[in-house]
Each structure stands twice: as C-alpha cells, then as structure tokens.
Chains A and B, each alone.
Chain A
Amino acid sequence: MVLGKYVEAVAAKCKDKEIQKVSQDGGVVSGLLIYALEEGIIEGAVVSKVTDEPWKPQPHIATTRDEILAAAGTKYTMCPNVWMIKEATRQYGIEKLGIVGVPCQIGAVRKMQTYPFGARFVPDKIKLIVGIYCMENFPYSSLETFVSEKMNLSLDIVDKMDIGKGKFWAYTVDETATIPLKETHGYEQSSCKVCNDYTAELADISTGSVGTPDGWSTVLTRTKFGDKLFKEAVEVGMFETKPIEEVKPGLGLLKKLAKQKKERAEKTIEERKKLGLPVP
C-alpha cells in the first residue's frame, strides 16, 4: 500500500473565501482546524507560523480562527511542531489539541502516543492529527539560496512558494520566478532521504496538492475519527468535494511519487548499511 491505509480519497476545496485567499492549495488544513475549533472538537492546534525572519516558521499554538489563518501556506523549511505539544497541554492548558505536521512529525507524535516515556498526560489530549504530504524539506539557508541567489529575489517580498510541475516557484506581487527542481537537489536536509512516508500515513487525515488541479487538494481520510470529521465538515458546507477519479492527474501521480520516495529511502538505507551507519 504505497499511500498507506485510508478510508477514502477525494479532491476537496474549502468554500470559505477568507481561507481560499491565504491557503496554499485547497485550504483543507486550515478549513479542518477551523471547523474542529468552532465545533469544540479541539481547543487549539499546533501550527507553523512565520514570525521575525521572512519564511522562517516557528511552531505556534493557535487558539483562534485568525491565528489558524495566520499560519496558512507552505513554508519549505523545518518547523519543529512536535516541540510545542507539551507546551500546549501544560502552559496553555489545552485539553483537546490538534496538530499539523509533515510525515516525520506525525510519526513522532504517534510514537510518543504509543510509548509516552516522558510525556505525562500528553497523549490523551491529542485529538486531531492532520498530515501534509512531503517529499523533502530544506534548511532555511537552502531557501535563501534558491530565492536570493538563484532567483535574485529578496525573501522579504516573496508572497508564496510552491513546488510543482518539476519546478520550485516563488511569487511576488508582480513577478513569478522559477528554478528547475533539479537545481534544488543537494540542498535538501539529508535525513529526508531515509524517510519512506510521502503521504503522512499515520495521520487522522492527510492532504496535499499532488493529484488535484490548482486550488484543490487531495484528501485521504485514514482513521475512523478522521473520516467522520472530514465528512461532517463537508456536510456543513466547509468543503466542496469531487470524486478523485474525476480529477486530473488523480491518484496515479500521487502513487507514483509515493513509490519514488519509498524506493529512494530503501536505496539510501541499503547504502547506509554498507557504510555501517545506523538506520531508523
């Protein structure tokens, strides 16, 4: 199962205009968190928000709709969201917590729930785990290299970054710049090469851009709870959905990329073993 186990796959787009305006793709993550917050399913969520330095995210504990919106959009560098989980349940006193993360972070949360050595009274407070598809991540300086050096843009004026169609994209108010994705190779954080999870296989709900047209997201509902929550959100009109079979490029591309990632991990792990290096 190259996409992990899931209940249903659909194409989705958030109907909320305010969310659409700030979201990276279909606004599924923001929409779900806001829906869960407004319904009292969660009291807050750990999200990634840019603060002082341009495009450098920090984990942030969002407890309002506005704070969730402020964290929308992809930041292509590490944001240690798992760090703030304990903080959220202690300092913020959140009893029902949501968390957003890329596959390795979701895995870390699940490991903590399964073996909670130093996480007293944390596991039972995590109510919703939303996973984002992830092929690889970059150190912050790599982003600076792509945008400042290769595209000659200042990170300050970039409004959106995106990876798709074989390119790395940066958008400003009046300009769209790209570099071929192969120019970003060699700038990834190297630990991504041992990761074999593309679609956040352990989340309640996973989502990402691949498989659906611009402005839409591919959603995989995984746990019973995640499936129920997503369907409720669709029912109340938070999302518009289409069967995944009716959109292009569909699950085929998603499966292809997921398989590529698994093969890369397998190869890297074999190479590491030959060198006598540990593997996860």
Chain B
Amino acid sequence: MSISNKIKKMLGLKSESAEEVKEMKKPKIGYIHLSGCTGCLMSLTENYDLLADLLDMVEIVYGHTLVDVWEMPEMDLALVEGSVCIQDEHSVEELMEAREKADLLCALGSCAMTGGFTRYARGGQQAQPSHESFLPISELVKVDLAIPGCPPSPEIIAKTLTAYIKEDMDYLKPLMDLPKHNELCGCDLQNEVVNKALCCGCGSCAMACQTRAIEMVNGRPEINTNRCIKCGVCYVHCPRTWWPEEQIKSELEL
C-alpha cells in the first residue's frame, strides 16, 4: 500500500490511487507561535507513525520550533497557536504579518480560537506586569478555520491537514464556521443547548471536557465554572450545536 493510501486508511478517509495524490502540489505551511504552550504542536507530533507521512505531504516553511527561518515567507496555510497579547507589539505584528502572507489562516487550539485559559490573564506579573490582555486571534484578524481543543487531538489535526491537502471542503466546512465562536465556555451548554431545549443528555460534553469540569446530573450537564478553561470543546462536541450528518455517513458508508 502506498504511503498516501496508508494515511487515508488510518484517517478513515476514502483512498484514491497513489498517482493522483503524488500529483498534488505540496502546500507551504507555516507555524506561528503566539501566547501558546507548544501543546498544540506536541499534539501534531503525537501522530507518531503517521507524522513522517504527514510532514512529507506538506512543506514546512516557517515555525520557530520547526525550521531555522527568520523571515516569514509566503504561506498557503498558517497554523496559529496561542492567543495574542495586545501589549506585546511583536506578537501583534507577527499575527498581522501572518495574515498578510498566508492564503489561509487557521486558529490551531483553543487559545488561538477562544483565548482558552489566557482569558483569565490580568497582568501584574514579572517581568512584564503590563502584559494583561490576551485575545483570540479572530479579534484582530480574519480567521479562515479553527480547530479547538486544549490541545486539539492528534487525530483532528491529521484529519484537517489531510482534508486541506485533498481540498476536501465538505470536511473542512464546519471548521470554517468555528472561528466566529470565539467566546466559548462551559456556560454555552446551559445557554445554547439546555436553555434552547436541545440537550438530550448524551454526555458528550462531559466526555470531551479536558479538565473534568462537567458532570452529568439528572441527564444534564452541570458546569464547575472554576475548572472551566474556556476551551470550547464541550460546545463543539455536542451533537446538538452542529450536526455533520453527511460527513459521518460518507465516512461510515452508511
């Protein structure tokens, strides 16, 4: 089996002939590291066996932990990890530059998409007590797609990259709708699902929560707001906030 077909098989995607994949041009990908923890990048590498194949399908042209390049080049896709500290002019500039130089800009991880736990930042710490305001990147620039998670799973990163390389717009569509939700937190389950008579008590939110801030009580989520880090995965995993029926059916052949 060819590498590309192997990748597809592992990702549960329909396989095509190896020749077809070989002909696709390798997209130039940049990795922009703002106020993040490198956990999202670590998560990409946690694709283990698949990683070499995955990296072979793209060309990494920028990224401080990845390549020794100081000038930001033109990119087909920029993955942005971390929120942006607006008191840090370099961060703001780097984000602006990425937006200008990238064809597509992707908020990778909850910090970039929703601010994540940096929403709780309030300054007053050495060595930069004035660094207090951290925003999801969509507050400053247009974001084309977002992959929430703290960190996003290795699988979703691999699936997204593969879909991007294959120009599988059907798969990417929900991710393109996500950047507009940049204020997600556990409270959304109450406001957007329970209050809207949509909660069916399945427990996906509690399963997805990465800090165990959600408990199911009498078939409804109960949020421990002191544990919530505003990553938004409870909201995106809920089958009642958006429902990718066609995509599920095509992957399962059902």
User: CB < 8 Å: which of B216, B237, B249 contacts A118?
Assistant: B237
Interface residue count on the B side (C-beta < 8 Å): 51
A89-114, CB < 8 A from B: 101, 104-105, 107-108, 110-114
Measured between beta carbons, the chain B residues less than 8 angstroms from A85 are 207
Question: Do A119 and B202 form a contact, CB below 8 Å, given A139-B218, A277-B197?
Answer: no
User: CB < 8 Å: which of A123, A192, A280 contacts B242?
Assistant: A280
User: CB < 8 Å: which of A5, A108, A202 contacts B202?
Assistant: A108
Interface residue count on the A side (C-beta < 8 Å): 50
A117 to chain B, nearest CB (A): 4
CA–CA, A201 and B249, complex, Å: 10
User: CB < 8 Å: which of B153, B196, B242, B243 contacts A120?
Assistant: B153
CA–CA, A195 and B240, complex, Å: 10
* B254 nearest in chain A by CB position: A5
Measured between beta carbons, the chain A residues less than 8 angstroms from B239 are 104, 107-108, 111, 280
A82 at the interface (CB under 8 A from B): yes
Check A86 against B240 for contact (C-beta < 8 Å): no
Measured between beta carbons, the chain B residues less than 8 angstroms from A84 are 203, 207
Measured between beta carbons, the chain B residues less than 8 angstroms from A222 are 254
B100 at the interface (CB under 8 A from A): no
CA–CA, A82 and B209, complex, Å: 12
User: CB < 8 Å: which of B203, B233, B241, B249 contacts A59?
Assistant: B203
Measured between beta carbons, the chain A residues less than 8 angstroms from B251 are 113-114
* B150 nearest in chain A by CB position: A118
CA–CA, A105 and B159, complex, Å: 23
Check A120 against B219 for contact (C-beta < 8 Å): no
Question: Do A118 and B153 form a contact, CB below 8 Å, given A108-B204, A110-B248?
Answer: yes
Chain B interface secondary structure, helix, strand, loop or mixed? loop
Question: Do A118 and B209 form a contact, CB below 8 Å, given A84-B203, A107-B243, A280-B239?
Answer: yes
User: CB < 8 Å: which of A86, A119, A195 contacts B200?
Assistant: A195
Check B209 against A223 for contact (C-beta < 8 Å): no
B171-220, CB < 8 A from A: 174, 192, 196-204, 206-210, 216, 218-219
A92 to chain B, nearest CB (A): 14
Measured between beta carbons, the chain A residues less than 8 angstroms from B241 are 280
* B236 nearest in chain A by CB position: A117
A90 to chain B, nearest CB (A): 11
Question: Do A83 and B197 form a contact, CB below 8 Å, given A112-B237, A120-B154, A223-B254?
Answer: no
B156 at the interface (CB under 8 A from A): yes
Measured between beta carbons, the chain A residues less than 8 angstroms from B240 are 191, 194, 280
Chain A, 105-136, contact with B by CB distance < 8 Å: what is the 0/1 string? 10110111111111111111000000000000
